């Protein structure tokens, strides 16, 4: 599909704004939060372990779910 010929009226603006806004919000708020509060949070090892587990679990579930289609 060529994007230069893509009709702009087919774009779902609410969905696009939500996805772009969520990404921009996370790219700005997460670094600010870590810069401000990282020294006060206890248990970073547990948090990183949970992040790692859910990162791989989500990747595997998306891969296996797509494979089933």
Q: What is the mean pLDDT of residues 29-58?
A: 87
Q: pTM value?
A: 0.56
* Structural domain total, the chain: 1
**Residue 26 and residue 28: Cα distance in Å, rounded?**
5
Contact assessment for residue 21 and residue 27, using Cβ atoms and an 8 Å cutoff: no
**So what's the pLDDT on residue 24?**
95
Residue 30, domain extent? 3-68
**Residue 50 and residue 53: Cα distance in Å, rounded?**
5
**So what's the pLDDT on residue 63?**
78
pLDDT in tens, 29-43: 988 988 888 888 788
Q: Where are the beta strands (DSSP E) in the chain?
A: none
């Amino acid at each position: 599909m060529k994007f230069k010929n893509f009709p702009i009226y087919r774009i779902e603006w609410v969905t696009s704004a939500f996805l772009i806004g969520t990404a921009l919000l996370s790219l700005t708020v997460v670094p600010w939060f870590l810069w401000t509060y990282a020294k006060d949070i206890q248990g970073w090892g547990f948090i990183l372990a949970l992040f790692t587990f859910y990162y791989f679990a989500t990747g595997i579930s998306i891969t296996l779910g797509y494979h089933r289609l």
